[in-house]
Amino acid sequence: MQNLPARDCHGAQKDSDPFLIYMIRHLFILVLACLCVPVVHSEEKGATTQQSIRVEFTPSGSKIYDMNRACAFVVPNPEKEGAALLKIDTTKSAGSLMTCLKTLVGVLKPDTDYIIQARARIVQREEENTSFVIYAVRPFSGGGGVYDIDQTFGACIGRWENILLRFHVPKGVPNAAFQIQTRGKVVALLDDLTIRETKLDSEMVADKPLSPAQLPSVLPKGAEEFPIDLPRTTGGAVVSVADFGASVNSPDNTKAFSDAAAHCAATGASKLVVPKGTYRFTSDEPVRFDHLKDFEFDGGGSTFVFLKGHNNLIEITKSERVLFKDFSIDWDWDKVPLASVVKVELVALGGEYVDLRFVDYVKYPRKDIHVVAMDSMDPALMIPGNEKFFRMFFEFSAGKTPAKVEWQEDNLLRLYAEEKKAVFLENLRPGQLYRMKHFYYEMKALAMIDNSHMTLSGV
């Protein structure tokens, strides 16, 4: 092949070395590539080009994401020289829910499958059960989880965990964004964030392997062994909840049990017993055991059945050397199911609504139903989760932002899409099974707060 002569900026011909020109051109291209914050890689898949973005965190920001500088910071990566981590710190934030980072509009394209992977670690959190990190794909403007396309949670403290999201952005959602939020006060680290286009129908993905880490010279041994003392023998009285009005025939035994426990705390009784049976509790107040010492609660093999709208079921607080044994906690599923299995019967042509059949009921037990969330189910195993796992949030907290519904039959519910028309059209098909949650964060079965030397046995 003949080499064409080089020309200067005025068009005049000049002598040059073709190899030198080749090297200078490619060096220039390499320098430009290194100056870009996101590292973008495209690979051919048949007739389509799929893009992969490795997000690099820099203090100056990025064309890929928007960072909330009140709670998100770029810090050096101690494991990789010259690299950086994203640090999330909401310990000084006033709000309970903070958005720390989100990709810009246009990074995630409509009608496209994606896989997002990262490594994350929680360094510190204020409350074990209420402080965590949320990794979600939702509209750029937010939505508080109600309009999530996909989400997962980070709750592992002290060790790295793999974050994996596999999802399809519907055609009618042009502003989808990957977002990192915190609930409560949290300090967390994020590394190795990648956003990759894919085809979910043809690809099975394993969790991203953790990067190898060098072990410290002295390995931690964990907490020192420590004893849990049982209640001491004090000679205190033995009391029965029946003496305070508890009965298997009572519609609500909350006050009777709480009064009996308060009496034991006030008099120094050593034991509270429950005649064996099934006891019901319907008050929104919890059954309280408070300031007990050297005390035993013997459920006698009883079952405690609860039916309430909110609050903890049982609370044990500020007690020392206590034993709670031999009882079961249950819920009145016949009156108010915590969750139901529904089958998609019909999706409206425009996605305005979907008709859902409750497969376990000829007549659903109540008409004032809460639709908090729906999770896709494996029809063979009849458990939530499958290769194309899909979740939708509606109310999030029961009763606060009620979904619009209409009963068509005793076990057929019409759920209106409102702002989810595109999501309904893209993801819902007749015959699919979903677990419909009617409650989410409303209640804890057994809350144990500020106790020492506490033992549970046969609970």
Contact 140, 66 (CB under 8 A): no
CATH fourth-level superfamily of 48-198: Galactose-binding domain-like (2.60.120.260)
Contact 64, 53 (CB under 8 A): yes
Contact 376, 426 (CB under 8 A): no
Residue with the two structure tokens 């929680």: 122
**pLDDT surpassing 70 at residue 186:** yes
Please report, for residues 333, 403, 452, the alpha-carbon distance to residue 282 in angstroms, rounded to integers and kept in the order given: 13, 25, 29
Bigger pLDDT: 169 vs 205: 169
Selection from 247, 183, 207, 42 nearest residue 116 by Cα: 207
**pLDDT surpassing 80 at residue 362:** yes
Q: Please state, in angstroms and rounded to a whole number, the distance separating the CA atoms of residues 356 and 346.
A: 7
**pLDDT surpassing 70 at residue 295:** yes
For the beta carbon of residue 451, count every other beta carbon within 10 angstroms: 15
Total residues belonging to the chain: 459
Question: Who's near 284: CB < 8 A, 6+ residues apart?
Answer: 308, 309, 310, 311
How does pLDDT run across 388-436, given as a tens digit for each residue? Answer: 677 888 876 555 678 899 999 999 999 998 877 888 888 888 999 999 9
Q: Exposed, middle or buried: residue 13 (CB in 10 Å: 0-12, 13-18, 19+)?
A: exposed
**pLDDT surpassing 70 at residue 182:** yes
Give pLDDT, residue 279: 97
User: Among 91-95, 316-320, 351-355, 397-401, which stretch is predicted with the lowest mean pLDDT?
Assistant: 397-401
Instruction: Give the residue-averaged pLDDT of 225-253.
Output: 94
How does pLDDT run across 49-61, given as a tens digit for each residue? Answer: 567 788 877 776 6
Q: What tokens appear for 84 in the block?
A: 């950086």
**pLDDT surpassing 70 at residue 48:** no
SS3 string of 234-303?
CCCCEEEHHHHCCCCCCCCCHHHHHHHHHHHHHHCCCEEECCCCEEEECCCCCEEEECCEEEEEEEEEEE
Bigger pLDDT: 61 vs 449: 449
Mean pLDDT over all residues of the chain? 82
Residue type, 286: P
Share of the chain above pLDDT 70, in %: 81
Selection from 56, 146, 67, 123 nearest residue 373 by Cα: 146
Domain locations in the chain as residue ranges: 48-198, 238-327, 339-437
Residue type, 359: V
**pLDDT surpassing 70 at residue 248:** yes
How does pLDDT run across 372-388, given as a tens digit for each residue? Answer: 889 998 888 888 876 66
Please report, for residues 256, 277, 278, 318, 340, the alpha-carbon distance to residue 304 in angstroms, rounded to integers and kept in the order given: 13, 9, 6, 23, 22
Contact 109, 141 (CB under 8 A): no
pLDDT band at 15 (very low <50, low <70, confident <90, very high): very low
Bigger pLDDT: 446 vs 145: 446
Q: Please state, in angstroms and rounded to a whole number, the distance separating the CA atoms of residues 109 and 174.
A: 7
Q: Please state, in angstroms and rounded to a whole number, the distance separating the CA atoms of residues 219 and 161.
A: 20
Residue type, 424: F
Element of type H or E holding 52: strand 48-55
Element of type H or E holding 408: strand 405-409
Q: Please state, in angstroms and rounded to a whole number, the distance separating the CA atoms of residues 417 and 420.
A: 5
Bigger pLDDT: 260 vs 397: 260
Coil, strand, or helix at residue 319? coil
